Amino acid sequence: MKENRIDYPLLVVTLVLVSFGLLMVFSSSYYYALEKMQNKLHFFTTDLKWIVLGVVAMLVASTVNYKIYKKAAIPLFIISLALLVYVLIGGRVINNAQRWIYIAGQGFQPAEVAKVGMIMFFAFSLEKNHTILNKPKILGVYLAIIAIIVLLIMKQPNMSTAVILAGVMSIMLFIAGLKWVYAALFTGLGAVVGWLLVHDAPYRLNRLTAFLDPFKYKNDESWQVIQSLYALGTGGIFGVGLGMSTQNKLYIPEPQNDFILATVGEELGLFGTVGLLIMFLILMYRCVKIAMNAPDIFSTLMASGITAMLGLQILMNYAVATSSMPATGVSLPFISYGGTSVLTLLGCIGIMLNISKYTIRHDQDSEE
């Protein structure tokens, strides 16, 4: 198999997004960090360390032939399941959520590992089973796997990650050849399960109620969303300037995390939020192109899974920050502060870069 050059546009746009994210993490967090940690560089320096590790992981992954992940798929699947079980037993509880495992003082979220593990496992398994995918017994196995993963993550609780993973795995099934009728049934079943899960937990139902009338609950359930809307509105077209945000001065809790888009909108205005969205669209276009031109079923499915994961996170984060869907904790890829997340995402981009080396070059095929 002849190697091409890596997809340099994907590499460049990723580095631009990561650099912009580091800038916005500092701009959104310095006041909060100074108030809470007496060190305005706390989140900036920590994020920088994870980004450096992530870039190294990306470069290493870009040189490792993607086919090696076939051998790693089942072990990583088992490790992912084990970690998701262990975090419910020995994980640390932070803000009423048991999502973190700490080793030598360093915490990570097993759900982030599970995202990669499930994408690789589904790509490996569906490559072998795509011709018999629509048999009820085979579909039942995949549905059971999705249900187990979703249940374990929901127990943390972490509904947003569960929804993203369920969506990614369902998209991979569809790309592997799932019939429309089964896709429709899966979607309907997912909607019913989601509705039951919302009603099962009072705080989720409260979030849904607050979403329908956010200003009625502006002092409790809708506080973050309302502050985000204030920030986006204050920013106008061109923003108030870097570092000049008001809403991230202890109005938005932990502004460097899930609601970092509010700071982007306030400081850089509509110009900044739309410009960032354009960068994300370029990123998605390059990823989709790599998936469409991947050399085999395994690489197509793995690239599609990574692309779906990125797309769902971007869509959900923008939707939450603009009150277009109920509030839920979804980080903005490459922009929000978060160690495990940025390390995992940059590693996934490295995999995409490696697959891009072997993509089918239609221009060369036509010449030959």
DSSP string, 155-206: TTT-HHHHHHHHHHHHHHHHHTT--HHHHHHHHHHHHHHHHHHHHHSHHHHH
pLDDT digits (tens, 9 = 90+) for 258-286: 999 999 999 999 999 999 999 999 999 99
What length does the chain have?
A: 368
| Of 243-252, 264-273, 300-309, 344-353, minimum mean pLDDT range | 243-252
**For 100-108, what is the mean pLDDT?**
81
What pLDDT, on a 0 to 100 scale, did the predictor assign at position 169?
A: 94
pTM: 0.92
**For 192-215, what is the mean pLDDT?**
79
Mean pLDDT of the chain: 90
**294 assigned to some structural domain:** yes
What pLDDT, on a 0 to 100 scale, did the predictor assign at position 208?
A: 81
For residue 129, name the pLDDT band (cuts at 50, 70, 90): very high
Which residue has tokens 């990123």?
Answer: 283
**1 assigned to some structural domain:** no
**Is the pLDDT assigned to residue 60 strictly greater than 60?**
yes
What pLDDT, on a 0 to 100 scale, did the predictor assign at position 368?
A: 38
For residue 90, name the pLDDT band (cuts at 50, 70, 90): confident
The percent of residues in the chain predicted with pLDDT above 70, rounded, is 97
**For 21-47, what is the mean pLDDT?**
92
**Is the pLDDT assigned to residue 2 strictly greater than 50?**
yes
Tokens describing residue 152: 């374990």
- Contact predicate 30/40, CB 8 Å: yes
The end-to-end CA distance of the chain, in Å, is: 15
**For 248-260, what is the mean pLDDT?**
89
Q: Give 44's strand partners.
A: none
**104 assigned to some structural domain:** yes
**119 assigned to some structural domain:** yes
Q: What is the DSSP string of 92-128?
A: EEETTEEEEEEETTEEE-HHHHHHHHHHHHHHHHHHH
Indicate the number of domains in the chain. Answer: 1
Which residue has tokens 């002092």?
Answer: 219
**78 assigned to some structural domain:** yes
For residue 216, name the pLDDT band (cuts at 50, 70, 90): confident
**3 assigned to some structural domain:** no
**For 134-148, what is the mean pLDDT?**
92
Tokens describing residue 225: 């969303």
**Is the pLDDT assigned to residue 366 strictly greater than 60?**
no
Q: Domain span at residue 201?
A: 8-367
Query: Higher confidence at residue 91 or residue 337?
Result: 337
For residue 335, name the pLDDT band (cuts at 50, 70, 90): very high
| Of 62-71, 120-129, 285-294, 337-346, minimum mean pLDDT range | 337-346
Residues 40 and 327: their CA atoms lie apart, in Å, by 28
The percent of residues in the chain predicted with pLDDT above 90, rounded, is 65
**For 232-246, what is the mean pLDDT?**
92
List CB contacts of 94: < 8 A, sequence separation 6 or more.
100
For residue 364, name the pLDDT band (cuts at 50, 70, 90): very low
What pLDDT, on a 0 to 100 scale, did the predictor assign at position 362?
A: 53
Q: In what order do the strands lie in the sheet with 97-103?
A: 92-94, 97-103, 106-108
**For 55-70, what is the mean pLDDT?**
95
**352 assigned to some structural domain:** yes
